[in-house]
Structure 1
């Protein structure tokens, strides 16, 4: 962790199967010279938490909540979870701990972990549209339906053979309803359909307008296609992006797995303690 941030090359996009790709990119401590001047923005599934067979089976490894709580304190509240999950779902996963959050791919925002939601609140998906999309889950056993209100997700981790059929069925519905203001988000063994007009990037932009995030230099860690909108806006916020499991285009580096991200976050606290020591 001695490499200077300014000298750190940007990663290029690559295929996960690229055998010549290097191991985890070391993250320089210069990235976070002072946590009091930094905003820590973190995706959850596939970034902080390892994937599980179903979304409800994810679990918070020992020590992670404590690390996040200490980072929240050291940044004076400028740590936020940025997730496709709803804020309520995040609270259930991390209970009894609560954190500032951008939820539902930018549909929700909560600045105060002990307060109500703030900022943007997207409309709910139309009930009839949701009913038609939900029927796609009947295509095969193992397709799991997740209704997030603002979006609907079809998980096929337990039915990978159904991927093509799912996307074809969604395409047919979109063709039948060409004026429906919806977007399709392909993810890691999930097809998510949400209302247009908001993304994780719009949520992060709004978040960074408010104290204690305002005026800080953010860094964001994410793993999925839906996180790429946030990767893209980090330069305009004078921040940096890091990807997990792959080297996404335009990021400053990558981590191999969520366990590496958790270790890095713990080291941030150790590094700052060493700097502060007499």
Structure 2
């Protein structure tokens, strides 16, 4: 495959995509960029609040957002409020809460999907699990809750056994468990990052464009799976996930590639 992708991904065989995507430069007039945050754009941190946004990343994302006529979105398990705090004062289109909420453009209001907030009594059961160790951090995302154990990895099995016990005690509760990197997330069934991305791709400025999705975790696999339906491609970070067209080694390589897209545009304009 040519290192400069200047035609629709649909015109290329998925098998032709490079396993190492660093040299791929898509036609930005036809592309939508969909980017996970933690473990993809940013290195993972001991707690969600400890993530560090490199100084130049905001400018790169803003410039790409403008160059794509707004077709750049952050796709995250974080809430939209949390996403905005991380990248303040910048805001971007986003799918937050694993598809529970969405903002189609910087100018539009954030909207919630049909996903109901998690029941408070159920939340209290999961809060109790965090009391097993000071190293287990409970995070309430509104539409879901997360138990972070990067500071107490020895409790992984205990956490999942406790979550399984709650599910067994409440077999009718419509909840899903999302295993992640040193995190166990619990959310109501019925929505995922993929349902959020599907909705996003039905609206301008994303509709009709070929999406590139980059993610790193198990929760991103639902989006990897639907990219071919939108004549798009996907890349994983840190591991070769099932159904992707290639992988980046680490978030710094993703950031370098995003910068490379702008550099190539500048060179082509000369």
Q: Which residue of 2 aligns with 1:104?
A: 97
How far 1:276 moved relative to its partner? 2.7
Change (3 A) 1:10 1:121: farther
How far 1:3 moved relative to its partner? 3.6
Change (3 A) 1:207 1:253: same
Please list, as runs of the form range in 1=range in 2, the aligned pairs for 1:216-255 lying within 5 A after superposition: 216-255=209-248
How far 1:8 moved relative to its partner? 7.1
Instruction: Confirm whether residue 201 of structure 1 aligns to residue 194 of structure 2.
Output: yes
Instruction: Confirm whether residue 187 of structure 1 aligns to residue 198 of structure 2.
Output: no
In the alignment, the residues of structure 2 paired with residue 184 and residue 4 of structure 1 have an alpha-carbon distance, to the nearest angstrom, of 40
Q: Which residue of 2 aligns with 1:95?
A: 88
User: Matched residue pairs, number?
Assistant: 263
- CA deviation digits over 1:4-52, x for unaligned, max 9? 76477479xxxxxxxxxxxx8144435x12x121100000000000111
Equivalent residues of 1:107, 1:121 under 8 A apart? yes
Equivalent residues of 1:98, 1:114 under 8 A apart? no
Q: Which residue of 2 aligns with 1:136?
A: 129
Q: Which residue of 2 aligns with 1:177?
A: 170
Equivalent residues of 1:10, 1:253 under 8 A apart? no
The normalised TM-score by structure 1 is 0.90
In the alignment, the residues of structure 1 paired with residue 214 and residue 49 of structure 2 have an alpha-carbon distance, to the nearest angstrom, of 22
In the alignment, the residues of structure 2 paired with residue 121 and residue 71 of structure 1 have an alpha-carbon distance, to the nearest angstrom, of 31
Q: Which residue of 1 aligns with 2:38?
A: 45
Please list, as runs of the form range in 1=range in 2, the aligned pairs for 1:250-261 lying within 5 A after superposition: 250-261=243-254
Please list, as runs of the form range in 1=range in 2, the aligned pairs for 1:208-219 lying within 5 A after superposition: 208-219=201-212
Unaligned runs of 5+ in 2: 6-11
Query: What's the Cα RMSD here?
Result: 1.7
Please list, as runs of the form range in 1=range in 2, the aligned pairs for 1:117-128 lying within 5 A after superposition: 117-118=110-111, 120-128=113-121
Equivalent residues of 2:100, 2:112 under 8 A apart? no
- CA deviation digits over 1:231-257, x for unaligned, max 9? 000001100000000011111110000
- CA deviation digits over 1:52-102, x for unaligned, max 9? 111101011010000000000000000000000000000000000110000
Unaligned runs of 5+ in 1: 12-23
How far 1:119 moved relative to its partner? 5.8
Moved more, 169-178 or 113-122: 113-122
The normalised TM-score by structure 2 is 0.93
Equivalent residues of 1:119, 1:206 under 8 A apart? no
Secondary structure in 1 matching 2:74: strand
In the alignment, the residues of structure 1 paired with residue 179 and residue 269 of structure 2 have an alpha-carbon distance, to the nearest angstrom, of 44
